[in-house]
Chain A
Amino acid sequence: MRVLRLALRRLAASLPTLLLILAGMFLLLQLAPGDTVDALMAQMGGGDPALAEELRRFYGLDVGIAAQLGRYILRLLTLDLGFSAIYGKPVATVILERLPPTILLMISALSFAFFFGLVLGVVAARRVNRWPDTLISTLGLVFYATPSFWFGLMAIVLFSVYLQWLPAGGFGDITQSLTGIAAVLDIAKHLVLPTLTLGLIFLAIYLRIMRASMLEVLSLDFVRTARAKGLNETRIVVRHVLRNAMLPMVTLIGLQAGTMLGGSVVVESVFALPGLGRLAYESVVQRDLNTLLGIVFVSALLVISINFVVDILYARLDPRISSDT
């Protein structure tokens, strides 16, 4: 209960941040040349000023910027993100349609990076300065330096073109309508390469942090005590060291949530996944600023909720946090 209250307080503290982001983004987009009506009129192939006036009133663009900002934030409270002129649908609907692939991709990439980062980090720390450590650390450096989109393209060449093991893109086979287990397996098959591509750089970061954190915890007094008690090395690592060494990794999930969401923009366009990131890219190309603003809002919400979950996780892993306050 205490944990939840603590996390809720942190959540409340992020509300001003969210407001700041929205106001900043809204003002920034005012600097963009032309507004929604200009874009619409251009699409219709021109029109008379009276129609433009009418449309401006319809989209609420006929009042001052401050009034527009006030209205926008009031509308957001009712989760009304406005209307996308390009898609001809409410922005909220467009975004909701695109959210599942992105969330699925982020969860799978995070699990992949976290699990293998943990395992490799532990192995490297147990064999510090010997060949497994050197190999893993070098791999970490190379993975960190690999541009994700390039890795994705090369994976397509190898696994889709030459070996033909995995599909090159998309979020499911559209030629056949699959149901049940078959559909789930199909989506899973389509997510393998994107997951590896997005997760690679985070794998590199996690394994490096895990290795350093393991080395630090392994040198602490309670580990010496555990050894003196005669516990075997595996038990010491699994029961005593791991939980403590994992703390920096958990912090990192929260810190990297935004970076991962940004990375999914690139990965989704490499693999033609119909997700939020690809929507962001499309709305930049099509100058659909209303949608872009909506995506920024939803992304910020996503990052804040990930941090909320991380706070709870952290407090569960480290009982000192909830008992101190």
Chain B
Amino acid sequence: MRAAKAYLRSPAALMGTAILFAVLVMGLGANFLYPADPLGLAGRPLQWPGADPRFPLGTDPSGRDIAAQLFHGARISLLIGVVATSIAVVIGIAIGALAGFYGGIVDTLLMRVTEAFQTLPNFLLLLVLVAVFGSTMETVTVAIGLVSWPPVARLTRAEFLTLRTRDFVQACRVQGLGDAHLILREVLPNALPPVIVYASVVMAVAILLESALAFLQLSDPNVPSWGNLIGLGRSVLRTEWYVSAIPGVAILLTILGVSLVGQGLNDALNPRLASGR
């Protein structure tokens, strides 16, 4: 309750929530406002925004409605962001929890793997994964999740390392409770707040990774993605720059919303750290 109140008092958090809510409404309302296929031909290509009242944001080089793609793209970005983040957080928590709780050889081995993933540029690994497994929306989402977990694992491990020797954990151990109970019911709930805050960073990065991949035309070409539209606009950048400009603003605002929500959560869940600023 205290955390919720602190969250609602922060203007940054409220602004972030409002932006994310707007993007969510865009995504959910896409099918009602633009029931036609957003990737289908809608009108004359390359009409400037406002030139034709039917297309408030203009049309792209293939004569598709930019506004429709923007609304449907909101759904894709949020979906990929949320699913990829969940995958990354689950893997990261599992590896970090095991490494931090057991220590010793388990810790060494798991941390070596984590280090290997961190040494490799994550976008490069993403390219390799897409090159090997193809670029349907499902594989892209899973691949983004697979390259994003190492920081979560490190954070979870650090939390587990400090928590596992605390008295309440020792007390449970003395009572004869199993490791699974200790990890899932005792330590994990206490380790979660910073991980939840960090999940906002993971989500921002996931959305950026997807849009960068789509911009390079290496993501699924059959879904209306913001990055895809920016990439298509490149060929007409010199004259019709609005094709690339509009979806970029959408990505910027979404990431801004995610970051602001993350900052609000951080201030609300870690009040001791927040008092310094």
The residue on A at minimum CB distance from B135 is: A284
A119 at the interface (CB under 8 A from B): no
- Tell me if A141 and B260 are in contact (CB < 8 A): yes
Given known pairs A142-B252, A261-B124, the reply for A281 and B277 (CB within 8 Å) is: no
Whether A150 pairs with B251 at a CB distance below 8 angstroms is yes
A31 to B204, CA, bound (A): 30
- Contacting residues, chain A, for B126 (C-beta < 8 A): 262
A280 within 8 A of B: yes
Which of chain A's residues have a CB closer than 8 A to the CB of B260? 141
Q: Is the CB of A284 within 8 A of B133?
A: no
Residues of chain B from 183 to 241 with CB closer than 8 A to chain A in the complex: 204, 208, 211-212, 215-216, 218, 227, 230, 233-234, 237-238, 241
Query: Which one of A17, A148, A255 has the highest number of Cβ atoms from chain B below 10 Å of its Cβ?
Result: A17
Q: Are A157 and B251 in contact (CB under 8 A)?
A: no
**Stretch among B32-40, B51-59, B110-118, B160-168 lining the A interface:** B110-118
Contacts of B254 in A (CB 8 A): 145
Q: Contact between A145 and B259 (Cβ–Cβ < 8 Å)?
A: yes
Indicate whether B128 reaches chain A with its CB closer than 8 angstroms. Answer: yes
Q: Give per-residue flags for A1-33: 1 if the beta carbon is below 8 A from chain B beta carbons, else 0.
A: 000000000000010111011001100110110
> Do residues A28 and B119 form an inter-chain contact, with CB atoms below 8 A?
no
Q: How many angstroms between the C-alpha atoms of A146 and B256 in the bound complex?
A: 8
Q: Are A258 and B119 in contact (CB under 8 A)?
A: yes
**When the two chains form their complex, are residues B131 and A292 in contact, meaning their CB atoms are under 8 A apart?**
yes
CA distance A296 to B115 in the complex (A): 15
CB pair B128 A28 closer than 8 Å: yes
Task: Please report which residues of chain A, range 229-277, place their CB below 8 angstroms from some CB of chain B when the two chains form the complex.
Answer: 255, 258-263, 265-266, 269
Write out the residue numbers on chain A whose beta carbons fall within 8 Å of the beta carbon of B133.
31
Interface check A212, CB cutoff 8 A: yes
A301 to B132, CA, bound (A): 23
A216 to B204, CA, bound (A): 27
Report the separation of the CA atoms of residues A212 and B123 in the bound assembly, to the nearest whole angstrom. Answer: 28
- A298 to chain B minimum Cβ distance, whole angstroms, is 10
**Residue B121 lies at the interface, judged by CB distance under 8 Å to chain A:** yes
Q: What is the size, in residues, of chain B's interface with A at 8 Å between Cβ atoms?
A: 47
Tell me whether A157 and B120 are in contact (CB under 8 A).
no
User: Which partner residue on chain A sits nearest B263 by CB separation?
Assistant: A141
Complex contact A216–B276 (CB within 8 A): yes
* Closest chain B residue, CB of each to CB of A29: B132
- What is the CA–CA distance of A212 and B204 in the complex, to the nearest angstrom? 21
| Residue B43 at the chain A interface, CB threshold 8 Å | no
Does B152 interact with chain A (Cβ within 8 Å)? no
Please determine whether B208 and A147 come into contact, CB atoms closer than 8 angstroms: yes
> Whole-angstrom distance from the CB of A212 to the nearest CB of chain B?
7
Taking a contact as CB atoms under 8 Å apart, the answer to whether A258 and B252 are in contact is no
Chain A contributes a number of interface residues (CB within 8 A of B) equal to: 55
* Residue of B124, B215, B253 ringed by the most chain A CB atoms within 10 A: B124
- Asked whether any CB of chain B lies closer than 8 Å to the CB of A196, the reply is no
Q: Is B122 an interface residue (CB 8 A)?
A: yes
Q: How far is the CA of A292 from the CA of B123 in the complex (A)?
A: 13
A107 interface residue, CB < 8 Å from B? no
Contact check, B218 vs A20: say whether CB atoms are below 8 A apart: no
B125: which A residues are within 8 A, CB to CB? 296
Give every chain B residue within 8 A of A145 (Cβ-Cβ). Answer: 204, 251-256, 259
Contact of A147 among B113, B252, B259 (CB under 8 A): B252
A126 interface residue per 8 A CB criterion: no
- Verify B277–A212 contact, CB threshold 8 A: yes
Task: Pick the contact of A265: B127, B131, B132 (CB < 8 A).
Answer: B127
| B156 in contact (CB, < 8 A) | no
Is B237 within 8 A of A157, CB to CB?
yes
Shortest CB distance A273–B (Å): 14
Chain A minimum-CB-distance residue to B208: A147
The answer on a CB contact under 8 Å between B245 and A154 is yes
Within 8 A of B (CB), among A139-181: 141-142, 144-151, 153-154, 156-157, 161
Cα distance A148–B233 in the bound complex, in angstroms: 15
How far is B275's CA from A175's CA once the two chains are assembled, in angstroms? 59
Supposing A153-B244, A216-B276, A296-B128 touch, asked if A284 and B121 sit within 8 A by C-beta, the answer is no
- Residues in B with CB closer than 8 Å to A28 are 128-129, 132
Cα-based distance from A84 to B119 in the complex (angstroms)? 24
A299 and B121 within 8 A (CB)? yes
Contact of B29 with A by CB under 8 A: no
- Assess A292 versus B128: contact at CB under 8 Å? Given A259-B122, A262-B123, A265-B123: yes
Q: Counting CB contacts under 8 A, is A215 at the interface?
A: yes
Check A215 against B277 for contact (C-beta < 8 Å): yes
Task: A29 to B132: give the CA distance in the assembly, Å.
Answer: 6
Q: How far is the CA of A28 from the CA of B129 in the complex (A)?
A: 8
Contacts of A295 in B (CB 8 A): 124
Residue B130 at the A interface, CB < 8 A? yes
Give the distance in Å from the alpha carbon of A54 to the alpha carbon of B79 in the complex. 48
Q: A258-B119, A262-B122 are in contact. List 14 more A-B contacts (CB 8 A).
A: A14-B119, A25-B128, A141-B259, A144-B204, A147-B215, A147-B252, A150-B251, A153-B244, A154-B244, A157-B245, A161-B238, A263-B123, A292-B131, A296-B120
A–B complex contacts, Cβ < 8 Å, 8 sampled: A147-B251, A149-B227, A150-B252, A154-B241, A212-B276, A292-B131, A299-B121, A300-B119
